[in-house]
Structure formats: C-alpha cells, structure tokens
Structure 1
C-alpha cells in the first residue's frame, strides 16, 4: 500500500501545482470583475480550469472519435469472425485483435479522455477538500485557501459536499449538480448510440460495451457524486456539458456512414444546394451510394470485335488451309506461248 501511495503521490503532486496555478490565474481575472472574495469568482475559475483542460484534450477526443468510427465499421468483419471462431474463444480473441491491429484500431481509445481526466479530477477533489480544512496545496496561499473555503454560490460553500453537511442549501445545490452530471452523461452516450451508430453495429461486443456505459456510468456518478464537493461537481458537470456539445458538433458535421446522422446531413446538404439553385443530387450521389449497402453489380465486359484477315473472310472467318509452295502454282496447262519477236510479226503482216 505504501508503494502504491508513493506512485499516487508522484502523479498527483505535480497536478496540485498545475491546477492551483490555473485556478489562481483565473481567479485574478474574475476577481477584478466580481471581487476576490466573491464565490462567483471561484466558481468561474473552476469553469475556466475545466475549459482549459478540455481544450487540451481535443487531440485525444479526435483520436477517440476515429477509434469509435473504426470500431463501428469493423462490426461486420467482427461478426464474421464470431461465426467462424465462435466455438474457440481464445482463437476468436486472437483473430479480433489481429483485425484491430491491421486496421490501426485501438478498442481502448474511447476510454482515453476519461482516464486522463481521472488524476486531474482526483487532484481537484483533494485540493478543495484540503481547502475545507484550511490546508494549502500547490501554489495556493493561506489567503487563497481562506477565500476558497468560505466562497459561496447560491448560499452553499464550494468546498462542502452533500454528505459533509446538514445545510439544506448545500444539499439542494449538490443534488441539482449530481442530477445534471448524471443526465449529461446519459444523454451524451445515448446521442452517440441513437444517431451515430449504424444498424449493424448495434449488436455485438462493441454495442454491449456501449450499452453498459450508457447505464453504468450515470449510476456510478449518481452514487459517488453525493460525496463530491460542490466545486468538483461544478467541474464535472461543466466537463460533461463540453463533451455533449463537442460530440453534437462532430455528429452533425462529420457523422459516421450508414447512420441516422449521416442521412440527416445528406438531407441538409441537398436543401442547401437546392436553395443555391444547384443540383441537390450532384454532391450527395456518391455519399448515398456509400450509405446504402448494395451487392456488387454483375457487369458484363464489353469486347471489341476482332479484325478478320482478308484471307479468312471467304471461309466464314475460318483460317484458310496452308498450302505448300509447290501447290501455289495452278495445274499444268502446257508450256506458255513464247512472245513473238518483231521479225515474226513483220512476216505475218
């Protein structure tokens, strides 16, 4: 346990300084507007911290989107492997991982943003919890800790939690934030499954994983959220709102093929083209063909007629029989008459 504690301290301690630097920086900005002792300044500082962290995680989010899309497109091949190796679980796992490796797909990439945020989430939780007990972490001074621990929004202290106090104002605000955090998590996952997953991807192990996340994650956040300080709930709710908006933008503008969102984008593009006086089908024909899974057409290869040599035309296209050089001369008809000389022609005359 001591070894694990040392590893956790090694990871969390730098995050205390990083989070506290960003938090104090935003507090100086909003403190000039609302006052340094105002709870709104600290609440907006936490929101600013969340926005900066999520902006830094955009590359990971893009990687997550690409991985999720590849997982969806690979579902037909995964089903074929399940039919072929369903009796051998070990071989099925090997073949499935080989397929992912060939296509450059990482099935665990969808968890990267959450895994990266967990240490940050834990560091902020401990920082606010320490502030509630008048302990400074990172670059927070005693004055900052005193102001943060006493900062209030809607009558509830930012460092209080649902289970840590009997104040009604704290419990009401904490309950609202827990419900908001749970609802945004559920809606984000449902938005992905209902609009940006093809029909053939709604079954199989990947779909089961998504359905599990749809119901388990909100439940985990709802149960654990009652122990989080108001500031942490504010951070997590803001992060969920960012995720939901970011995913809505991606699904609307770059949806996965063969999905409801993909067909809706085709319709919007066709309407825009029609309003501009353009052919609405010009830009979407190829996309529609890709959207509708059709069998490969049986195309007939057209062959150009071959040129028949003149010697074969009289025989109906059949090659004429080869002749020996001796057979090329006509049959013997006697000696050829000699040409008359000029003297003979004169005597005759």
Structure 2
C-alpha cells in the first residue's frame, strides 16, 4: 500500500519538479550570464525570487476570479441574510437556497483560498528540491546533479546557507536572525493583506454575515499557521513565500484602489478621488465652455426677435383696413 501511494505521489510531483526546476534554472542561467556568480547564494536566492514572480504572474487569472467571487460574496450578503430569516428553521432548505444563490450570481465561497491551494504543490516541490539537493545532491527535473549540488551548498552573504532553517541552524546565529525576519515578514504581510480586504473592501452589510466570520477567522488563523510552520522552512522556501505575500499585498492594493466593490470604504474613497480629479482637470475647460456659451447668447440676442413682416392681404382686405391705418402706413403699403 505504501509503495502504491509512493508511486502515485511520484507521478504527481514529477511534472511539478520539471515545471519548477525549468523556471528556477532559467533564472539561474540568466543571472549567471549577466555577471552573477553561478554558485553564489545571491544568484540562487534571486532565482527563487524570479520563480515566485513567474508563478504569481501565471496565477493572475485565478486571482481575478478570486476577486470577482469575493466581491460577489460581499454584495449578496443582504440576500443571504434574507434567506437565513426565511429558512432559518430549515437548515436543509437554507443550504439549498444558498447554493442556488451562489450559482445564480456565479459566486464560489471557496475562491479566496484558490491561489493558496494552487501554490501549495509548487511550494512543496521547491521544498523537496532544496532539501534533497542539500542532503543528497539529488537531481530533479532540469536541476541536474551539478546544479543540485550548487543549489544545496549555496549561501547568502557567504554565511547563511539556503538549506538551513530557524530550528535546524547548525549553531549559525545569522541563520536564526534572517529566518526570524523572514517569518515575521511572511506573517505580517499575510495579516495586513487580509486586514486590508476587510477594512477597505467589505460593505457594512457584509461585516456581520457568515462570510465576514470566515474572513475574520482567516485574519488570525493564517498568520499563526505561517508563523508556526515558518520556523521549520528553509531560508530558500521562506524567500519564496515572503516574496509571494508581498506580491499578493501589492496586487490586492491595486485592485481595491482602482476597482473596489460598491458600498465599501474603498469605493467611497475612489469616488472622492475621481471627483477631485475631474474638478481639477475639468475646471478650466468647463469655464471656457461657459464663457463661450454666454458670448454666443449675447451675440445672438439682437437677432432673437426679428421684425415680423405683414401678412399678404387681398385688395378687399386692404380697402377695408385702409381707413383704420395712418396715412404713413398706407403709403408704406403702397
């Protein structure tokens, strides 16, 4: 049974090893070509950062889907509350109606976890590659034995091996310091990203529903999970995860600032910015247009009411009216 599970795991991980090692080795080659030491720790560290950027760029469509689903979850909270009031006594019916609402609005309540779930196999593949390269100089995918040896023995600042962890530091205090800094950065960015979402991009109605409870749980649970697990991660893996968190925080900040959900503090702030920007950039053209309109009105004023021409009359009508008109007018008519 264990052999079967091992074979299944190998089949799953092998494509990931090739994918991760292809990006990692490509960055390593590129950095080596522009003057970095091929066996230097900084070269491999920057290669890990490059791997992170490629992975996160590839996950942008998934992130967009996550944002849309998250926004839908926020906007449908009033309808969810109505369903809870209506079917609160019948849990089965409430679940059915809630799932129907999710399907109608194209909402996935688990979409907020998708980027994290997709990254976990990549994270595991990088962890295994670094661990086995350090211990056995074992090749994986495009990371051959020579590159695996270089990767496993690489050191940042010539003193901090990428393979060591906060707990397994070989008595190297520099490893403990750098690992602690990266763990704190990883935990803080996770907390701030989630906090940013809740404080800026959640409507008031959504702050008390089940979705808000889920977000609050993630706000405090995820940083604790990363902090506890982070002390056992190698420095190289911590670099990957911290860079990924920084990308997530910046990406979310951009989306919330430029495309916030309606009815949120971020939406109100964007409206104020747009109004201020429109006033600042449109003030002079608006004044010019007003002046032009006024001028046109003034110029056309004398022509607004032209003298009416008398209607054509028959000879009999002119004879009847001739006695009633002054002589001057009669002369004019003639």
Is the shorter-chain TM-score for this pair beyond 0.5, marking a shared fold? yes
Determine if the alignment matches structure 1 residue 160 to structure 2 residue 170: no
Aligned residue in 2 for 1:23: 24
What does residue 15 of structure 2 align with? 14
What's the counterpart of residue 130 of structure 2? 128
Residue from 37, 57, 60 that aligns with 2:59: 57
CA contact (8 A) 1:72 1:201 kept: yes
Q: Is the 8 Å Cα contact of residues 252 and 265 (structure 1) preserved in structure 2?
A: yes
Q: Aligned partners of 1:278, 1:92: CA distance in 2, in Å? A: 53
Higher-RCO chain (CA-CA 8 Å, sequence separation at least 6): 2
C-alpha distance in structure 1 between counterparts of 2:6 and 2:79, whole Å: 44
Q: Which residue of 2 aligns with 1:107?
A: 109
Q: Please, which moves more after superposition, 81-90 or 254-263?
A: 81-90
Q: CA deviation at 1:45?
A: 0.4
SS in 2 for 1:137: coil
- CA–CA separation in structure 1 for the residues paired with 2:8 and 2:225: 25
Counterpart mapping for 1:166-185 below 5 A: 166-185=171-190
Q: Pick the aligned partner of 1:146 from 149, 152, 160.
A: 149
The alpha-carbon deviation at position 6 of structure 1 amounts to 3.3
Q: Provide the residue aligned with 1:66 in structure 2.
A: 68
SS at 2:282 equivalent: coil
Report the TM-score when normalising by structure 2.
Answer: 0.81
1:187 equivalent in structure 2: 192
Superposed structure 1 runs of 4+ greater than 6 Å apart? none
Deviation for aligned residue 1:142: 2.1
**1:46/1:234 contact within 8 Å kept:** yes
1:237 pairs with 2:238 = no
Q: Which runs of 5+ in 1 are unaligned?
A: 280-349
Deviation (angstroms), 1:4: 4.0
What is the number of residues matched between the two proteins?
Answer: 281
1:5 deviation in Å?
3.5
Distance 1:260 1:12, change over 3 A: same
Q: Partners of 1:93 and 1:164 in 2: how far apart?
A: 47
Q: CA deviation at 1:278?
A: 4.2
Query: 2:308 corresponds to which residue?
Result: none
The whole-number CA distance in structure 1 between the counterparts of 2:40 and 2:196 is 37
**What is the distance in 2 between the residues matched to 1:243 and 1:78?**
28
- Residue segments in structure 2 that go unaligned for 5+ positions in a row: 285-334
Question: Which of 253, 265, 271 pairs up with 2:270?
Answer: 265
Number of the residue aligned with 2:320: none
- What is the aligned partner in structure 1 of residue 215 from structure 2? 210
The residue aligned with 2:121 is 119
Contact in 2 for aligned 1:67/1:107 (Cα 8 Å): yes
**Aligned partners of 2:82 and 2:245: how far apart in 1?**
36
Quote the Cα distance in structure 1 between the aligned partners of 2:116 and 2:8: 19
Cα distance in 2, alignment partners of residues 70 and 6 from structure 1: 41
Aligned equivalents of 1:112, 1:7: Cα separation in 2: 23
Helix, strand or coil: the match of 1:276?
A: helix
1:205-257 CA distances to partner (integer Å, 9 max, x unpaired)? Answer: 11000001000000000000111111100000000000000000000000000
Q: Which residue of 2 aligns with 1:92?
A: 94
The structure having more radius of gyration, on CA atoms, is 1
Q: CA RMSD in A?
A: 1.7
Question: Could you tell me how far apart the structure 2 residues matched to 1:278 and 1:122 are?
Answer: 56
Aligned-partner Cα distance in 2 for 1:128–1:67: 35
Q: TM-score, normalised by structure 1?
A: 0.78
